[in-house]
Structures are given as structure tokens and as C-alpha cells.
Homo-oligomer: A and B are copies of this chain.
Amino acid sequence: MIIVVNTKCSKYEIDKLINHINSKGVSTNLVQGESQSVIGLIGDTTKIDSDDLLALPCVEKVLKVQEPFKKANRLFKPDDTIVDVLGNKVGGGHIGIMAGPCSVESETQIIEIAQKVKASGANFLRGGAFKPRTSPYSFQGLESQGLELLKLAKNETGLPIVTELMSTDYIDKFVEDVDVIQIGARNMQNFDLLKQIGKTNKPILLKRGLSATIEEWIMSAEYIMAGGNENIILCERGIRTFETYTRNTLDLSAIPIVKRLSHLPVIVDPSHSAGDWRLVEPLAKAAIIAGADGLMIEVHNDPQHALCDGKQSIKPEKFDEIMKKVKILSEIEGKSI
């Protein structure tokens, strides 16, 4: 970290500031410029909060030199993390394809969709049992019953289950029933939830928050890792911008950036980001070719009668078509599904 010193401060005040910082076990190096001086902090600064420094007298600005995450940092673990879920790998050259309906609706529905997406090449079944909805009057999911139906579909197809956890009350149940616990965009900074799943050993799918910077997103992964659970798959699903033709703006630049900063795998959800089934194919293909380690796609056998998000769901036939192209692009990228 580097402190930019307020130009109005005297030498005496600057010395006091330097002593204060040294007292925290960090060395300093004062560089005096013509109109501005700066203090470099040397040593382990991860325990020093830049916001706390800003409250000290004579501190004008604090500039960060290093990323604030450790366990998720590629600097300290250069090799790709590969998350292995019942033999289905994500990361390190392995593409994970998670497909299924927005909401689990019935046994027939979920089994039929699971069979179809498996046939097309998906290796995970996604499906919502507990649904985060903006309105309290919208369908909130089949909840526990939905989990049971997902288990039936898993029994039929062997596909591991990915589904969203919204409440710490259900952690034990999810650890038992679910293969990948999804943390939704709206809970990306629900720190209580992050801490508690950090104590489990379940693979976690961590979606990026609607207004989360890449750094905050990786810091949320760091929360989980700090608890001991390092099986994390990041998922880009669009950020909020001023553009209204799409529900959110998919930030594909985040893929190569995350891969440079962190060793964790990162996948893309083209269905939620765009909110429009017509964009799923181009965005899914673009994600793979930009280096994503997988996709999460909404597939529904009858989108027009889906209980939620039908607008962004594609039919199994369309999914099959997209998968054919995704396979070719994965090969071009030297990866396997």
C-alpha cells in the first residue's frame, strides 16, 4: 500500500504518521516529491484496512499495490483449481455444462428435461427449488419438495444436482441432497451464508453480484475459502448497467481477468444475464471462446408455461443445437466437456 500525504502536513506530523504505521509491524519508506510526498508500506499489509488508514491525519489517499485476496490468488497458487463433482470436472481444461429449468415444477418435467439435456451433453442438472423473486407475490419455488424431485432426476440420469441455497436454515439438507450449492447474485455478499458454507466441503457455485466488482466477487470466494472450503466455481451472470435491451450486461472481459487473477474456475450464465432466449446461443458460444470453464443454461420443455423466467429458457432441441457448436468451440480451445 502507498499513502499519498496531504500537502498541508508538516514534517513533524508526517513523522508521527510514520511512527503510527510502524507500530503496526509494517515498515515504511518515505518518498518526497516536489509538491507531494508518498509513504510506501513494506511487509504484510493484508491486515491493514485501507479505509482505516484514510481516517489518519495527513493521509490524503491510499493506493493499493496488491490484490486483497490470498487463497483465491493465482500468485500464490499458479495451477488451475479443478472442481470435481462425482467425476465431472470443471476447470483446468474441463468444461462443465449445467442445464435445466429455472424452477423444478413436477416429476415428469424435471426428469424429462434431465434426460434430454444429458443426451445433448450436459454434465450437471440445474433446477431451482428455492427461488429468489423480486415480488413476494411471485411463485417462490417448490422448496423442499423441489429438492426431492431433483434427487429423482439425479437417480434417473446420474447427473449431479446444482441448486440455489438462500437460507442458512437449509445448509444441512443441501449438504446431504445437493452436489453443487449455488449462491445467487443477490446473496454474493450475504457474509453469514458465505461463512457457513465455508465450513462445509460441498462444491460451491458463486454467482457474481449485480453490481459487484471482480475484486469483490473474488473476495466473496475468499470468505468461503477462509472457512476451509476451496471447491469454488465462479459464475459470471451479467452486471447492472444503464442498457435496457438486456436484463443485465454480460461482462465477458471478466473471464480472462478472473483467470489471470485467480486459479478458480469460472463459468458463464447467458440465460440470466440477457434475460432473452434469443441471446443464449451467441453469448454461450462467445463465453466458451473467451475462455470460460463452462456454462449454465436454462432449458425448459415448455417455456411458454414455465412457472418462472420462461422468456429466457430455450427448448431441449435448441439446447442440443447449441451444444453441438459448443463442443466444436471447446475443442478449438483445447478443452473437453
Contact = CB atoms under 8 A, between A and B. Distances in A.
Nearest to A192: B167
A213 B290 contact: no
A33 interface: yes
Interface residues of A, number: 106
Interface stretch (A87-95, A115-123, A148-156, A219-227): A219-227
State the number of copies, please: 4
Given A40-B38, A192-B167, A246-B257, A303 B226 contact: no
Interface stretch (A105-113, A172-180, A199-207, A237-245): A237-245
Nearest to A71: B136
Contacts of A244: 213, 244
A283 interface: yes
Interface of A: 2, 4, 7, 29, 31-36, 38, 40-44, 46-47, 49, 51-52, 54-57, 61, 63, 65-66, 68, 75, 132-139, 166-169, 186-187, 189-192, 195, 209-211, 213-216, 219, 222-223, 226-227, 239-246, 249-257, 260, 273-275, 278-279, 282-283, 285-287, 289-291, 303-304, 306-311, 313, 325, 328-329, 332
